[in-house]
Amino acid sequence: MADAETRLARARDALSNEIGRLAKIFLELLDKKSFFGKRPSAADKAEFLVKNNIIDREWYLSQHRDVSASGMDPSLHYVLYGAKEDRILKRMA
């Protein structure tokens, strides 16, 4: 049973990392060409992450205490800094 739980935890971690990698690629693509005719602002990108449930804001703050202490919106932090720092957006349940 413990072995199965360990494998499940590893799979969750791998999936969480993959979501972060894909989100980072997506944000980079938005900088190159916008589907809306203009480059979206950092706030637009952050809103997209929230609206599409790509980031878990509460989890992000609980895992990244420096962001919590800064008072910065976690989705905006991810767009401006977290993606470049390879921070994880959310933990898969």
pLDDT above 70: residue 84:
yes
Burial zone of 30 (CB within 10 Å; 0-12 exposed, 13-18 middle, 19+ buried): middle
Residue 76: predicted pLDDT = 97
Measured CA to CA, the distance from residue 93 to residue 39 in angstroms comes to: 33
What pLDDT, in 10s, does the model give residues 43-67? 999 998 999 888 999 999 999 999 9
**Residue 45 host element (H or E):** helix 42-51
Is residue 63 a contact partner of residue 88, using CB atoms and an 8 Å limit? Answer: yes
For the four alpha carbons of 5, 59, 74 and 51, in that order, the dihedral sign comes to: positive
Domain ranges across the chain: 2-82
Residue 80: predicted pLDDT = 96
Mean pLDDT value across the chain: 87
Would you call 33 helix, strand, or coil by DSSP? Answer: coil
- Those residues whose C-beta lies under 8 Å from the C-beta of residue 50, and which sit 6 or more positions away, are 57, 75
